[in-house]
Amino acid sequence: MNLLTISFVHGLESTYDKYLQINTNLTELFGEPIYKETERITSNSIVLDVDKNIRTQDSYTASGMLKGVGNVTDKSTFLTTFQREGNVTTSNGNGIFTTVDGEIATYIGQDLGMIDENGVEIFRGIQIFQTESNGKLSFLDNLIGLYEYKNWPDGKKTGMIWQWK
């Protein structure tokens, strides 16, 4: 049993390394991420339909570091459609970034999700931000972000957003 556990953990570490390389390649294309998620929890999940395609509504609360700002909270709700064939989903939703001192930026997002051969759920998409802030979040107004979020089989969750320049 211990050998299987060690093999699984070792394999997962190799998988993490693989995805760090992919993130490095995205960073080469777009520069350093403007947002790095540090924690995410699913606060609510509702099954909306199972007749044609399975559809869910999922709400999340996350925290992370926003470039030039520091800690922010990200609250979002996404509607996800699971395709009947294959491990593919499409999602669209809305969210709010909030700073510790109360500044707010909103966004709309859309992504394509898939599960890779290692069981990692990967969501790649686009977010379009808006804000009326004149403070630290003002740079987000009309900013287009490209994102990649991952849910690992061991429960780890990661996410990054790059600015499309």
pLDDT at residue 11 tops 50: no
32-49: average pLDDT: 92
Three-class secondary structure of residue 137 per DSSP: coil
pLDDT tens for 122-139 read 999 999 999 999 999 999
Domain map (residue ranges) of the chain: 32-163
With bands split at pLDDT 50, 70 and 90, how would you rate the model's confidence at 44? confident
- What gap in Å lies between CA 116 and CA 153, rounded to an integer? 11
Query: Percentage of residues in the chain with pLDDT exceeding 90?
Result: 67
Query: Hey, which residues does 80 pair with through a beta bridge?
Result: 56, 91
Three-class secondary structure of residue 20 per DSSP: helix
CB 53 within 8 Å of CB 82: yes
77-83: average pLDDT: 94
Could you tell me which residues come within 8 angstroms of residue 32 by beta carbon, excluding any fewer than 6 positions away? 67, 162
Q: In the CATH hierarchy, which fold is given to the domain comprising 32-163?
A: Porin (2.40.160)
